[in-house]
């Protein structure tokens, strides 16, 4: 195993330990999905700690292992770099043996629509970031956060659904398990 791969595995294990401790992957106490914080005026419509399916847990763990992977438009594997839809397709194939392909809009045509209050880790979240529907996709990991491959900052990372940029561009969530 290369030094980079060893470091990535270690980071994944540490992140997993943190998520399990926080109850993000299920088993933790739910706040009823209100998502309220001291700085928030109205409750979030998103579920915080819904239990993930077994496939959803695998997808989340695999996604977390790709944090820091370089962004590349049209990228479909971590060695060459990933874009948002390439990241989702790669993770779903590797973690859940589920074939999904196309751009974010194509991926959104599959699966079933999920109400924000029913979203679970491993579900996909879609955004309008390019003035066209479903132009960006990420993987919901729980606690109002998602993993995605944005071109901004050039790496796979975690962001919050409550981030003003993503909150105003959120379109839908879809489940594939």
Active site residues: 84, 136, 148
CB 72 within 8 Å of CB 80: yes
Residues recorded for the chain: 177
CB 55 within 8 Å of CB 177: yes
**Cα 60 from Cα 147, distance rounded (Å):** 8
Give the three-state DSSP class for 113.
strand
- State both tokens at 50: 């819904």
CB 84 within 8 Å of CB 137: yes
Give the three-state DSSP class for 122.
coil
Q: At how many degrees (to 10) do helices 54-65 and 3-22 cross?
A: 130
């Amino acid at each position: 195993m290369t030094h980079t791969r060893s470091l990535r595995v270690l980071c994944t294990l540490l992140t997993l330990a943190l998520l399990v401790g926080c109850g993000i992957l299920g088993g933790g106490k739910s706040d009823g999905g209100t998502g309220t914080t001291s700085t928030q005026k109205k409750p979030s419509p998103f579920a915080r700690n819904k239990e993930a399916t077994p496939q959803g847990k695998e997808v989340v763990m695999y996604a977390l292992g790709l944090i820091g992977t370089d962004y590349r438009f049209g990228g479909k594997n971590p060695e060459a770099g990933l874009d948002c839809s390439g990241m989702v397709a790669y993770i779903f194939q590797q973690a859940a043996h589920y074939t999904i392909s196309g751009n974010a809009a194509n991926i959104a045509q599959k699966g079933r629509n999920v109400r924000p209050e029913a979203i679970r880790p491993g579900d996909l979240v879609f955004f309008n970031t390019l003035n066209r529907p479903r132009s960006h996709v990420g993987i919901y990991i729980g606690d109002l956060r998602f993993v995605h491959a944005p071109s901004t900052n050039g790496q796979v990372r975690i962001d919050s659904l409550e981030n003003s940029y993503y909150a105003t561009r959120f379109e839908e969530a879809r489940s594939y398990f």
